[in-house]
Amino acid sequence: MVDFLCQTYGFVPFMEPNRLNPYLDDFYADMGQWAFHSQISFLSHKFRLHMELMAEPSTVVQDRTIYEDAEIFARYLHERGLMADRDWATYCHLYEAMQQALAPPDLLLVLRCSVRGLRRRIKQRGRPNERAIPLKYLKELNTLYEGWFGRWDLSPVLEINTERLDYISDLVHRLEVQRALEPFLE
C-alpha cells in the first residue's frame, strides 16, 4: 500500500527498518532470548524515523508505526512470557517518554486481511527469516491489532478490506481505494 500511495499521491515513503535490526534473525530463531533486544532496536529506529517525518515538509506515509511496535509486538512478547517484566517495564518507560515528543499521525490506515491472506503475502514477500513464523503467532498478533484499532484515538481511522483487493493491477479496485482516501486528503 505504501508504494501505491506514494505513486498515486506523491507521498514520501518511510519504510519499516527490518534490515537495520541486527537482532531480527536471532529473534526469529529464539524469541525469548532476543525479544527485548529486537524490540528496543525497532523502537529506537522508529523513533528516529518518526522524528524525521515530523520535520519532513511533504506528506509522508509509514508502513508500520512506533505505536504498533509497542502496542502489538512488544506487548505480545511480554504477554507470552518472552519478555521479562523488568524488560517490559523498561521498554514501556522508554516508549512513554518517546510518545511525549511525537506528533500523532494525521490518519491511521487499517488494511484488513485474514490470517490466511497474511500467510499468503508473507510467502510471496519471500523474506527468509519469516518463513517459519508460526500460525498461532500471526493469529495472536491479529487479535492484538483488533484490540489496538478499537482503542486508537489519536487520529481518524480509515479501514480498507484488502483480502481480495488488487489495487495495483485492477483499475476498479484502485479507484475504490482512491475514493475511500480522498476525504482524508483534502
Query: What are the residue boundaries of the structural domains of the chain, listed by start?
Result: 2-185
Give me the mean pLDDT over the 160-184 stretch: 82
Cell 529464539 belongs to residue: 30
Q: How far apart are CA 101 and CA 48, in angstroms?
A: 11
Say what the pTM is: 0.81
Q: How far apart are CA 148 and CA 95, in angstroms?
A: 16
Residues above pLDDT 90, as percent of the chain = 41
In angstroms, the first-to-last Cα distance of the chain is 19
Greater pLDDT, 182 or 121: 182
Q: Which CATH superfamily is domain 2-185 in?
A: P-loop containing nucleotide triphosphate hydrolases (3.40.50.300)
Q: Catalytic: 63?
A: yes
Of these residues, 3, 25, 26, 63, which one is catalytic? 63
The residue count of the chain comes to 186
Give me the mean pLDDT over the 145-164 stretch: 90
The answer to whether residue 152 scores a pLDDT higher than 80 is yes
Q: CA 134, 135, 140, 141: dihedral to nearest 10 degrees?
A: 80
Q: How far apart are CA 12 and CA 2, in angstroms?
A: 9
DSSP 132: T
Contact 69, 46 (CB under 8 A): yes
Structure confidence at residue 17 (pLDDT): 65
The answer to whether residue 14 scores a pLDDT higher than 80 is no
Distances (CA, A) of 14 to 47, 51, 63, 140: 12, 11, 7, 26
Structure confidence at residue 58 (pLDDT): 67
